[in-house]
């Protein structure tokens, strides 16, 4: 059998593709079914992969084959700010799946902008902005008005996906691209946002429950109008820097106010009939998150005091 042709690629492009995919040599070699020493030789220029093996690497690194024939490694966009833990503890350790989803979200935004230009259309402008000094209850009401969501409309939303789909449609109509992560573990990230304008991006994890996705969607929308996109898991971790922790709590408070305003919750039959000073059971909480279609999982909410 004739030997497969060698791929005339620059070694640094092989290293770039692997490192930006978040893989070390051993893991990349295992996934590509190649000896680790051979992969190292390809990267240091002592040998070249065959075209067939280059295709395997492209599949593993989730890069188009043409990317390996660039004259030099391109500069990948920096990932969004990580609001989950101390920045030094997470820098450069995003999973390959999350890195791919970040690249894909950025590529979709770029494609959408190019498509608008090609059709002589202007990108929708998100006119709503927020500051951390805003009162969450007032900002929540402002978000509802801006998105045009009314209690009457919410009353028509049916579980489990009615609320998520409706909020998603409203946010996209306002000028934000919304997508769902398919291969990222929920323990790593529940959502992320890229606040660049126009056409900011929000991504939520499809592995989350519908109510969880609804809350993540609104939480990330608050990040967008703050113009502070980031990676979020919604956990209230005390080891975060104080400024990042304050941002997360603000986004949680505001998202809760937008999805289920305090006055509406207090007036709901489930709350009125429950009685004061009576502890809520888990089953009651799981049923009480729907009021006129205001859907949110109460377990996602964290107060400013934790």
| DSSP string for 115-142 | HHHHTT-PPPP------TTS-HHHHHHH
What mean pLDDT, rounded, does the chain reach? 85
Q: Between 25-32 and 51-61, two packed helices, what is the crossing angle to 10 degrees?
A: 120
| pLDDT over 80 at 292, yes or no | no
Specify whether 136 is located in the same domain as 66: no
Specify whether 16 is located in the same domain as 153: no
Judge whether 90 lies within some domain: no
Specify whether 131 is located in the same domain as 248: yes
Tens-place pLDDT, residues 213-222: 999 999 999 9
Q: How far apart are CA 32 and CA 47, in angstroms?
A: 16
* pLDDT level of residue 270 (50, 70, 90 thresholds): confident
Judge whether 92 lies within some domain: no
Q: Residue 85: is it exposed, middle or buried by C-beta count within 10 angstroms (0-12/13-18/19+)?
A: middle
pLDDT score of 273: 77
Judge whether 280 lies within some domain: yes
Span 23-34, average pLDDT: 96
Judge whether 164 lies within some domain: yes
Specify whether 167 is located in the same domain as 137: yes
Span 8-30, average pLDDT: 94
Specify whether 53 is located in the same domain as 118: no
On the question of a cis peptide bond just before residue 198, with omega within 30 degrees of 0, the verdict is yes
pTM tops 0.75, yes or no: yes
Specify whether 62 is located in the same domain as 122: no
Span 40-65, average pLDDT: 95
| pLDDT over 80 at 143, yes or no | yes
The token pair that represents 121 in the structure block:
């259309």
Is the separation of the CB atoms in 261 and 294 below 8 Å? Answer: yes
Specify whether 19 is located in the same domain as 58: yes
List the domain range (segments joined by +) for residue 137. 98-300
Q: How far apart are CA 220 and CA 244, in angstroms?
A: 14
| pLDDT over 60 at 282, yes or no | yes
Span 69-95, average pLDDT: 68
pLDDT score of 239: 62
Specify whether 289 is located in the same domain as 179: yes
Tens-place pLDDT, residues 185-196: 988 899 999 999
Specify whether 158 is located in the same domain as 289: yes
pLDDT score of 265: 73
Tens-place pLDDT, residues 171-190: 999 999 999 999 999 888 99
Share of the chain above pLDDT 70, in %: 85
Domain count, the chain: 2
Judge whether 88 lies within some domain: no
| pLDDT over 70 at 260, yes or no | yes
């Amino acid at each position: 059998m004739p030997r497969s042709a060698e791929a005339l690629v620059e070694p640094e492009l092989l290293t770039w593709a692997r490192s930006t995919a978040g893989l070390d040599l051993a893991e990349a070699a295992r996934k590509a079914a190649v000896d680790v020493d051979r992969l190292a030789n390809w990267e240091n220029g002592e040998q070249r992969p065959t075209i067939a093996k280059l295709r395997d690497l492209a599949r593993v690194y989730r890069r188009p084959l043409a990317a390996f024939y660039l004259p030099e490694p391109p500069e990948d966009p920096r990932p969004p700010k990580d609001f989950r833990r101390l920045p030094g503890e997470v820098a450069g350790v995003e999973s390959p799946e999350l890195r791919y989803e970040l690249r894909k979200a950025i590529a979709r935004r770029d494609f959408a902008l190019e498509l608008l230009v090609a059709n002589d259309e202007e990108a929708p402008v998100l006119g709503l902005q927020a500051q951390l000094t805003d009162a969450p209850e007032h900002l929540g009401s402002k978000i509802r008005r801006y998105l045009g969501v009314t209690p009457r409309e919410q009353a028509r939303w049916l579980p489990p996906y009615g609320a998520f789909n409706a909020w998603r449609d409203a946010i996209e109509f306002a000028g934000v691209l919304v997508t769902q992560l398919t291969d990222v573990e929920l323990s790593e990230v529940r959502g992320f946002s890229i606040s660049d304008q126009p056409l900011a991006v929000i991504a939520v994890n499809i592995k989350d429950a519908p109510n969880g996705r609804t809350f993540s969607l609104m939480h990330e929308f608050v990040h967008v109008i703050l113009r502070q996109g980031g990676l979020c898991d919604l956990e209230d971790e005390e080891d975060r820097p104080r400024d990042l922790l304050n941002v997360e709590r603000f986004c949680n408070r505001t998202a809760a106010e937008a999805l289920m305003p305090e006055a509406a919750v207090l007036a709901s039959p489930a709350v009125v009939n429950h009685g004061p000073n009576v502890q809520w059971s888990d089953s009651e909480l799981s049923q009480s998150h729907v009021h006129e279609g205001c859907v949110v999982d109460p377990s996602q909410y964290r107060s400013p005091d934790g």
